[in-house]
Structure 1
Amino acid sequence: MSDLASLDLRVTECRACPRLVAWREEVARVKRAAFADQTYWGRPVPGFGPADAPLAIVGLAPAAHGANRTGRMFTGDRSGDVLYAALHAVGLASQPTSTHAGDGLELYGVRITAPVRCAPPANKPTPAERDNCRPWLAEELSLLPVRAIVVLGAFGWQALLPVLAAAGWSVPTPRPRFGHGVEVTLEGRHQPDRPLHLLGCYHVSQQNTFTGKLTPAMVETVLSRAKELAGLGS
């Protein structure tokens, strides 16, 4: 099995991290009062977007009452509200909202994924959990014709660089540091004529968006630049 559909299926069946399995399933059982009448997904969350996407967005992990509830990355929470509105504004999504898996949303040329696929307690995966999950991200990126990646936050940045190095991209030493608006171009050891562009963006968390550290315009600027670098137009 080497296609994205089979990968996504295998991701949803993973039980490699006992702490994360226990937490995601407890959240799905207890639920938040506002969603008491809904059936939670309660499993690892696969990536979302077309199989031929030249642009990827790498986050952190599913939110307990967001993607862990809906089964789709960045769907059903405040972080997703900001991200999908920005994607729609720059022409990468068919609609500005993402509420549930059957809401008709389509992504254009972009796939959204994460280095950790299960909702972690306090939104903080352990290093071991991150490393357990790494093969999923590595395989997913190997199946995409990716030319640019937007990384949301320092955790995703730090988790992604070893994946890219192992996949044959020339990651500088010392490794480039995360920052909002940072751009790094990596050469491929096997495809030197096909560089990979990394772009940093503050995570679309409420902590950042409610305080004004990250504004919708800032997200749109990074996504527009990534769209251009991925060959999807300016």
Structure 2
Amino acid sequence: MNSRSGLAELDRCVAGCRACPRLVAWREEVARTKRGAFADWTYWGRPVPGFGPPDAPLLIIGLAPAAHGGNRTGRMFTGDRSGDVLYRAMYDVGLASQPTSVSEGDGLELYGVRVTSPVHCAPPDNKPTPGERDTCRPWLVRELELLRPTLRAAVVLGAFGWQAALPAFAEAGWPVPRPRPAFAHGARVSLGDDLTLFGCFHVSQRNTFTGKLTPEMLREVLWTAAETAGLGK
């Protein structure tokens, strides 16, 4: 099975997962009750698979879908303010075809980069439990295994994603340093000779509204990671 067919099958399996009762109940309740501004939408209401080409040399790893973002639209970081910030920055550095991501059918294409998360269901209060993170890990491990032939760099958004990603990279066969490196914005860690991991503050509203993460800071991390992955503009 090649990466293209393997990732397509993985995405189908992810979208059908019901392993975490709390997350299943929450995502489906949100899809039923909706937000007033989206009353005419049919919510996705399922786990949200990764998005991007199957031969991507760069991977961006977030936290989990937003209740009224990915859980509504069915695509990572699509339809919420965090996605507005991320995709604008990706467009600015040449990784996306357009600066906005509003719905699955909006024509957005990603260039050499795939976007995923360690937890595929929207969690209450944007806070998955450690147990939910660990239950979801095999999906990320399999995604990494399928991307391994081309993957050269990964940007991890936030400490939760960092803590979830490191053991997944280890299970997928990359040598992760011991002790495991701590998360920091601007952290850069080599996993063997063929992969570099970058840390970046999450594109949450809390971080972007307070200026903890500015568009310039985000673009700098994405640009450096893209160059490392061989995607220099």
Give the TM-score taking structure 1 as reference length: 0.96
Match of residue 129, structure 1, among 119, 132, 145? 132
Q: 2:158: which partner in 1?
A: 153
Counterpart for residue 176 of structure 1 = 181
CA distance in 2, matches of 1:109, 1:72: 17
Q: Give the share of equivalent positions with the same residue, in percent.
A: 74
Instruction: For residue 135 of structure 1, give the secondary structure of its aligned residue in structure 2.
Output: helix
Question: For residue 208 of structure 2, what is the aligned residue in structure 1?
Answer: 209
- What are the within-5 Å matches in structure 2 for residues 43-54 of structure 1? 43-54=46-57
Residue 230 of structure 1 aligns to which amino acid in structure 2?
Answer: A
Alignment of 1:26-105 (within 5 A): 26-105=29-108
CA distance in 2, matches of 1:58, 1:158: 11
**Cα offsets for 1:166-186 (capped at 9, x unmatched):** 222111111101000110011
| Structure 1 consecutive aligned stretches of length 4 or more whose deviation exceeds 6 Å | none
Which one of 110, 114, 122 corresponds to residue 111 of structure 1?
114
Alignment partner, residue 217 of structure 2: 218
Which runs of 5 or more residues in structure 2 are unaligned? none
Q: CA deviation at 1:135?
A: 0.5
TM-score, with length taken from structure 2 = 0.96
Give me the whole-angstrom Cα distance separating, in 2, the residues matched to 1:169 and 1:41. 34
Tell me how far apart the structure 1 counterparts of residues 29 and 215 of structure 2 sit (CA, whole Å): 33
Aligned length in residues: 228
CA drift of 1:195 comes to: 2.0
Match of 2:22 in 1: 19
Residue deviations 1:134-193 (CA, integer Å, cap 9, x gap): 010010111112110000000000001011112221111111010001100111xxxxxx
Aligned CA RMSD, in angstroms, stands at: 0.9
**Distance in 2 (alpha carbons) for counterparts of 1:26 and 1:166:** 33
Counterpart residue identity of residue 210, structure 2: T
Distance of 1:167 and 1:12 partners within structure 2: 21
SS where residue 217 of structure 1 aligns?
Answer: helix
Match of 1:190 in 2: none
Residue by residue over 1:36-61, the C-alpha shift from the partner in whole angstroms, topping out at 9 and shown as x without a partner, is: 11100000000000011010000000
5+ residue gaps in structure 1?
Answer: 188-193
